[in-house]
Amino acid sequence: MRPRVLVAAAQADAAGEPMIRTLDARQSHHLVRVLRLAAGAPVEGFDGKGARFDARIERADPKACAIRLLAPIAACTESPLAITLAQGISAAERMDWTVEKAVELGAHAIQPIVCARTQVRLDAQRLQRRHEHWARIVEAACMQCGRDHLPELGVPLAFERWLAATDRRAARTRIVLDPRGAVRLAALRVDAAQPVDLLVGPEGGFDATELEAARAAGFQAVRLGPRVLRTETAGLAAIAALQAIAGDF
């Protein structure tokens, strides 16, 4: 498999102009220093908006590598089921794992949320750095798994603020994971034409007030089975199950 790299949208090029993209220092270092690719090496470019291109390295500069986009490649790697994972922020490695695997499993969007039981307490500046870190994980996961659309990564929000911003009138399937939920996920009727909001708590889960607020906002309390899963397992297991029920599995 050729190395994949995220590039600026190719649709903006004027007719007849060569489609050459200069990469940033991080991307350039990876191609030239880590992968040791030279000028002329074949790569694959994708713009994060659904376009994929055959490409080759034009200039192997470890600080400003340039690639030439050639013929477009037809591909369809997106799930028909648009899942938004609203994930309670967990400890660093667990959250990193969740973001990475949610991308691989086909999540349409990822929204980090700060909950009452969130153990990681970050100020605004550190939250911004974490968001930038997660954005790099999203990009790397797309490169690895072959997705051409970058899932939307929301700015971290407080649980109450995110819940208040959800459109309760929209036709969406709303699920909050709760080990005590009366409904099992396998019993849900999921329509691929309707987006899914999947709400997952942090370590320790949601407190009673949050669960009640979620139900009032139209979320159905759902359990995954007889066992209690960790936060970094629960959301991913639910995404996989939903993809098997109505998605692209």
- Domains defined along the chain, listed by start: 4-72 (2.40.240.20), 83-246 (3.40.1280.10)
pLDDT at position 124 is 80
DSSP 157-222: EEHHHHHHHS-TTS--EEEEE-TT-SEEGGG----TTS-EEEEE--TT---HHHHHHHHHTTPEEE
Q: 30 — phi, psi (to 5°)?
A: -65, -45
Radius of gyration of the chain (CA): 20
pLDDT at position 12 is 47
Tokens of 213: 């607020």
Give CA angle at 236 (242, 114), nearest 5°: 115
Reading the chain (249 residues) residue by residue, the pLDDT tens digits are: 899 999 987 554 555 555 899 999 999 999 999 999 999 999 999 999 999 999 999 999 999 999 999 999 998 899 999 999 999 999 879 999 999 999 999 999 999 999 998 887 778 888 889 999 999 999 999 999 999 999 999 999 999 999 998 877 677 899 999 999 989 998 888 888 899 999 999 999 999 999 999 999 999 999 998 999 999 999 999 999 999 999 898
pLDDT at position 170 is 75
pLDDT at position 240 is 97
pLDDT at position 127 is 84
Tokens of 143: 């490169």
pLDDT at position 123 is 80
User: Where do we find the tokens 């968001």?
Assistant: 131
Candidates 59, 63, 55; CA nearest to 28 is 63
pLDDT at position 209 is 96
